[in-house]
Amino acid sequence: MTATPAAPLTETELDRLHDTLEAGRAAMNLEAMDGYFTALICGPVFVSPSQALQQVLGEDFVFEGNEQATDCLGLMMQHWNWIVAELQRTLAEPHVYLPILLEDDTGVAHGNNWAHGFMRGVQAHPGTWNDLLDSEDEGGALVPMMMLVHEHDPDPEMRPPSMDPKKREEVITMMIAGATRCYGYYEAARRQGVMDQAPIRRQAPKVGRNEPCPCGSGRKYKHCCALNLH
Which domains, ranges and CATH numbers included, belong to the chain? 11-229 (1.20.120.740)
Contact between residue 141 and residue 182 where contact means Cβ atoms under 8 Å apart: yes
pLDDT of amino acid 201: 38
pLDDT of amino acid 127: 87
CB atoms within 10 A of CB 89: 14
pLDDT of amino acid 163: 94
* Integer Cα distance of 87 and 159 in angstroms: 30
Q: What are phi and psi of 49, to 5 degrees?
A: -55, -35
pLDDT of amino acid 222: 57
Q: What is the pLDDT along the chain (230 residues), one digit of tens a residue?
A: 444 457 999 999 999 999 999 999 999 999 999 999 999 999 998 888 888 999 999 999 999 999 999 999 999 999 999 999 999 999 999 998 999 999 999 999 999 999 999 999 999 988 899 999 899 889 899 999 999 999 999 999 999 999 999 999 999 999 999 999 999 999 998 887 654 544 433 333 455 667 665 555 566 655 655 554 43
pLDDT of amino acid 224: 56
DSSP conformation class of 29: -
Q: Is 216 exposed, middle or buried (0-12, 13-18, 19+ CB in 10 A)?
A: middle
Task: Report residue 161 CA to chain centroid gap.
Answer: 27
Calculated CA dihedral for residues 125, 176, 117, 226, nearest 10 degrees: -60
* Integer Cα distance of 119 and 40 in angstroms: 10
